[in-house]
Amino acid sequence: MSLKIRLARGGAKKAPYYRLVVTNSRSPRDSKFIEKLGAYDPQLEKGDAKRFQCNEERVKHRLSVGAIPSETAARFLRQAGIYKTKPTYTAKAKGTGVKKNKGGDAAAPAAA
């Protein structure tokens, strides 16, 4: 059974609250989980210490036995100083792509 560390959503409508959990990688996001490792409350201020909380000892244990964190969970664990790997993706700023014209090539001169 492959294990995944990810966020499971809870809370009310328009008031999200997430639990950091260890679960089977094939199970749905909010289904049963093996162990609760922490919590994330996005409604708190960014500097608040209670915004992301986790049990470091248990997270390190789960990582050592082969649990793989999701991209979002890995980002939070990196910020907490627990997970030391680089991101697997490169964030791309909006508007960096090249616009394409509907009529054809952008460099073509207009017909007179």
In a domain, 101, yes or no: no
Q: What is the pLDDT of residue 108?
A: 56
Q: What is the CATH number of the domain that holds 17?
A: 3.30.1320.10
The residue segments making up the domain with residue 45 are 3-80
Count of structural domains, the chain: 1
Q: Kindly report the number of other CB atoms within 10 A of residue 60's CB atom.
A: 12
Span 24-42, pLDDT tens digits: 999 888 889 999 999 999 9
Instruction: Provide the whole-model pTM.
Output: 0.74
Span 79-94, pLDDT tens digits: 999 998 877 766 667 7
Tokens of 33: 């989980």
In a domain, 20, yes or no: yes
CA distances from 34 to 7, 30, 43 (A): 13, 12, 26
